[in-house]
Structure 1
Amino acid sequence: MAINLGKEIIYLLSTRGTPRLEGNDWEEMFARIINATWKPSNVGLDDIVHEQTAWSAKTVKNNSPATVSKIRLISGRNSPVYSFGDQKVSKRDPKNLGNKILSIWNERVAAVRKSYQHLRTVVLIKSNNLLELSVFEFDTVMYPTVDYWWQWNEQQNLEGYNKLDQHIFTWQPHGSQFTIVEDVPKDRLSIRIKQPPIISKGDVLEKIKFNESWIEIL
């Protein structure tokens, strides 16, 4: 896993020229590494499939991928307006609204679990230059609404806490973005890679023996 991940990132840096890795890039990489099928889904919970297991693949930027202890994962758009027909959500009763936010997530997870025996999330934590990376994965679970309480914060975003008063969820009324705070395990896979040389467009075209006759003007 470590070698294959490093090879994927080095290839990306050499050919792209900039340390830019988007969500779809990571989905494709992970699928290739584990010899699975990449099939982007609208739900975003089963983008990679291998036999009876499906993964959601997410990326997070952090200056210290090997040592960070908590990260925030953007986990979709949970809209009470769309799902429940609510006309106004700002400054609503936080408990009632928070329960609706979680129920939207739980229904998505339950629907995907009907098709697969295992549902997982795999996370790539990346430095800004992509030279340090960490990977970990965990079961994608549903969250019982009775286990959490909610409040509005100073930015007028809704925050969810567990019974130990630990911040677990954030929901933004503008855009309906739902974020989950995850603990990063100490036994994550962490690697550091060497900055590779950049392959120019001219080098690639020369390597493949490009000829202008390949281009037909219609």
Structure 2
Amino acid sequence: MAKRKYPKLRTVSKSISAYPLNKFNSEFPYILGQEIVYLLASKGRADLQGNEWEQIFALCLGAEWKPSNVGLDDVVMGNTAWGAKTVKSGLKDFKDLKQVRLISGRNSPVYSYGVTIDTSADPNEIGEQVLEIWNERVSAVREKYKHLRTVVLVKSNDLSQVAVFEFDTIRFDAELFNFEWNKRGNLEGFLKGTRHKQFVWQPHGSQFTVIEKVPEETLILKIKQPETLDKEKILQAIGFDKSWVTIERK
């Protein structure tokens, strides 16, 4: 009897992300701390904007900063892309962080579907439309990048404390949520069978907010406040004088 032959198959390789979720490399905290200290010293105030966080995060990873209109793929490394978010917290100890509210774009069913919206409209129908706009954005970016994440910087008012975590950026299944109008005329989405709030959507301005749980693996840093750099000394050190300024029109 002839020995049975098995077919030869092509090797199937899985797409590996840049690194495991929330497993930042050992230098990441120190580069991040260095950049925040420099920002505090050079600005003289605790002011860290969203686009600055995108650039700092890219630097910490050794990734590429590619600011995006969609806001879901501002930082890119290989087959992985990140949208970067910042949010303030007044908690004294960031170990007590449980959840954050992330502004996640403007989703307008009025523009996308040509409907007129007020609180008399079916909340679940409007909620489905709001989520579908979000889902289309996610799908469009996932066509380019196999792995899509959101990285969040939680910051204290004085930047003496920060927390960083990331999560997979996913599509949302509207069938898993119930929507209702609140007293302010905003739409809220709850996980079915619970009062766990996941979304808030504001008809005025179409702002879409996603409420995310803060994971246990969150990186938390405390930052020593530096002295503000002396502007006059810096200008002297670089040799600034009036010749650096050319008047084109008076």
Q: Same fold (TM over 0.5)?
A: yes
| Corresponding position of 1:123 | 152
Match of 1:189 in 2: 219
Aligned to 2:56: 29
Give the Cα–Cα distance (whole angstroms) in 1 for the partners of residues 158 and 48 of structure 2: 10
How is 1:128-139 mapped onto 2 (pairs within 5 angstroms)? 128-139=157-168
Structure 1 distance, partners of 2:247, 2:96, is: 54
Deviates more, 1:162-171 or 1:13-22: 162-171
Q: Which residue of 1 aligns with 2:74?
A: 47
The alignment yields a C-alpha RMSD, in angstroms, of 1.0
Aligned to 1:71: 100
CA offsets per residue over residues 49-88 of structure 1, 9 Å max, x none? 1111110000010023332101100000000011101133
Aligned length: 218
Shift of 1:164: 4.1
* Partner in structure 1 of residue 127 of structure 2: 98
* TM-score, normalization by structure 1: 0.97
Please tell me the residue identity of whatever aligns with 1:26: W
Tell me, yes or no, if the aligned pair for 1:66 and 1:133 is still in contact at 8 Å. no
Question: TM-score if structure 2 supplies the norm length?
Answer: 0.85
Give deviations 1:160-179, integer Å, cap 9, x for gaps. 01124210000001100000
- In structure 2, what is the equivalent of residue 178 of structure 1? 208
Residue 89 of structure 1, CA deviation: 3.8
Give the 4+ runs in structure 1 shifted more than 3 A. Answer: none
- Corresponding position: 1:84 with 2:113: yes
Alignment-derived partner of residue 7 in structure 2: none
Which secondary structure does the structure 2 equivalent of 1:66 belong to?
helix
Identify which of 146, 153, 161 aligns with 2:182. Answer: 153
Of 79, 82, 87, the residue aligned with 1:60 is 87
Displacement of 1:111 in angstroms is: 0.5
Q: Distance in 2 between matches of 1:30 and 1:178?
A: 24
5+ residue gaps, structure 2, are 1-27
Secondary structure of the residue aligned to 1:107 is helix
Instruction: Tell me which of the two structures has the higher relative contact order, counting C-alpha pairs closer than 8 angstroms and 6 or more residues apart.
Output: 1
Measured after TM superposition, the shift of residue 203 of structure 1 is 2.0
Structure 1 unmatched runs, 5+: none
